[in-house]
Structure 1
Amino acid sequence: MHFDQLLEPCRNGGDTQIPTSWGQGRATFGGLVAAMLYEKIAAAAGTDASLRSLTFSFVAPVASGAVTLSADVLRAGRSVTQVEGRLMQDGKPALAALAAFGSARQSGIRVDCDRAPVFKAPEDCPALPSIPGVVPEFTRHFDYRIARGQLPFSGSSDPQLGGWVRFTDSEDAAVSVPQLLALIDAWPPALLPMLGKPAPASSLTWTLELTEPLPTHGGGDWWQYLAEVEQAADGYGVISARLWDADGKLVAFSRQTVTVFD
């Protein structure tokens, strides 16, 4: 099922279904379940203010099948609205989120964002290979081109991983926040190329900040992504990442704590 079609029931209803085609090992692709919960949160916020920050805590693996979504407005002020959301499965919390929406205000402070890194063109970069049992099922919904770093499980010492990414099947309309969540989470954790053999890894926490205005490019356009492992020890790693649109404009900041079971 198309990504956007999966999100339609999330806006108004409390229950929805997750198909098996978006699997990631024993769990569902985190970008999808995050997007589903965001749709519920945005509907509850009921504001025209822009999304400024979004934090997720992956409490338990979300399997395919039925899930229940809920969202509560914690406070709606003159310029900022904060909303808490939860995704439940089998009566237990599996994903929790806190979103902050903020209206633009006049300010004398302005710091411009970095431009995109210089990558080779997508057609000149190798694609992420499709290896059953190693590469997750959900990756078939995306097209990847590796421009920085090495393949997962290659035993690399390079802390960076990135390149180009796009949906393989996407509408021509301007990208939505849920699509951005999926695009920036589609890449393997930058820890995985450091491993010499396959091992499971999953997000524990994930925080994103978006820049305004959102781009007018579609999810089927190429987007640039670059992640870097900032610290790793004891089976956990901290990864920072950024996403740029086709014009080189910075769109999103990402920071994840990832667990790896090597």
Structure 2
Amino acid sequence: MARLAESFDALRRDGDRFTITAPEAWAQGRTLYGGMTMALAHEAARRYFDDLPPLRSAQCVFVGPAAGRVHFLPGILRKGRSTTMVAVEAVSDDGPVLRASFVFGSSRDSAVAVEAPGLPEVSTPDEAIPLFATGNERAPGFTANFDMRLGGGAQGVSGGEPMMATWAKFRDPPGGDPVSALLALADAPPPAAITRFPQVAPLSSVTWHIDLVARPEEVDGWHLLRAEAEHSGEGMTTQDMKLWREDGQLLAIGRQNIAIFA
């Protein structure tokens, strides 16, 4: 297992860009998995610009493999009184990797309040079954850094409903910035459409949108990540995603589009 903060510490600034050699412990095949690439982009943004308010929303397009040396180039899109929008482009020595935009916003008084949904009815982490069998060589390499258990929905390649409610936590406390750690955690489980795969097959995130409902103070314990495939066809699947702390506080809501090769 690898501690997440050690990879963040390996991100080196060189003028207006930040460079890292993609850490193999967080790889999925020939590339870093999407959550790790997004977390590194967020690290570059918050290190480049001083005094950013809390992250509220992030969107990205995964363009190419994050392998070898990867360079992150942040830039301001707009800075207002309460909101700052930052773009980050990531490129490797072989070509483009990612284009992301981050919306950072200060808190403001508002007369509008809508209560966030609570935890769905699922098994507790102690009752839940392992998401991957021990020693399963078909599981992506980065998953060794997480303990993931299926609390609700169907197992992969089972033909069951296209929904997975996965309890997940880092095997070693991640350290570092908790928002960056949350981005890395939020993309750890496989997409819900994997329940309908006839056999294990490659997949790759294409786009990801995530809105933060609450700012995490730490990301050490169990979190529930519920993903539901809303449509799959012609080699693509789209899913709705929500992430809660174990105590029931909703932290993030997201959507993802994923290329599947099954």
TM-score (norm 1): 0.92
**1:98 equivalent in structure 2:** 101
- Verify the 8 A CA contact 1:11 1:40 in the aligned structure 2: no
1:179-213 per-residue CA deviation (whole Å, 9 max, x = no partner) reads: 1111110100111111110111110000100013x
Local SS of the residue matching 2:144: helix
**Mapped pair 1:155 → 2:156:** no
Given residue 215 of structure 1, which amino acid in structure 2 is its aligned partner?
P
Partner of 1:54: 58
Q: 2 CA distance for matches of 1:254 and 1:10?
A: 26
Which digits, 9 at most, give the CA deviation of each residue in 1:199-245, with x for residues without a partner?
Answer: 11110000100013x233x4331111111011111111111111101
Q: CA deviation at 1:46?
A: 2.4
SS at match of 1:122: coil
In the other structure, the counterpart of 2:229 is 229
3-state SS, counterpart of residue 145 of structure 1: strand
C-alpha contact (below 8 Å) 1:83/1:99 kept by paired residues: yes
Report the equivalent of 1:210: 212
Q: Which residue of 1 aligns with 2:149?
A: 145
Residues 174 and 215, structure 1, Cα contact 8 Å, conserved in 2: no
Partner residue of 2:7?
6
* Structure 1 residue matching 2:48: 3-state secondary structure: helix
Counterpart of 2:115 (choices 112, 123, 135) is: 112
Letter in 1 for 2:80: G
Of 191, 200, 203, which aligns to 2:202? 200
Residue in 1 aligned with 2:259? 259
Structure 1, gaps ≥5 residues long: none
Q: Distance in 1 between matches of 2:177 and 2:221?
A: 9
Q: Does 1:75 align with 2:78?
A: yes
SS in 2 for 1:215: coil
Contact map agreement 2:90 2:98 (CA 8 A) in 1: yes
16, 32, 36: which one aligns with 2:20: 16
Question: Partner letter of residue 235 of structure 1?
Answer: G
CA distance in 2, matches of 1:112, 1:52: 17
Q: Deviations over 1:58-90 (max 9, x none)?
A: 001222x21111100111111111111011101
Residue equivalent to 1:88: 91
**1:114-145, Cα deviation, whole Å (9 max, x unpaired):** 01112222111111224544111110100011
What CA distance in whole angstroms lies between the structure 1 residues aligned with 2:23 and 2:83? Answer: 35
Shift of 1:27: 2.0
Partner of 1:196, secondary structure, is coil
Preserved CA contact (<8 Å) 1:57 1:205: yes
1:47 alignment partner, SS class: coil
Q: What is the TM-score with the length of structure 2 in the denominator?
A: 0.92
Identity of aligned residues (%): 33
Once the two structures are superposed, residues 89-120 of structure 1 have per-residue CA deviations (whole angstroms, 9 ceiling, x without a partner) of 01521111011111111111111100111222
1:169-180 aligned within 5 A: 169-170=172-173, 176-180=178-182
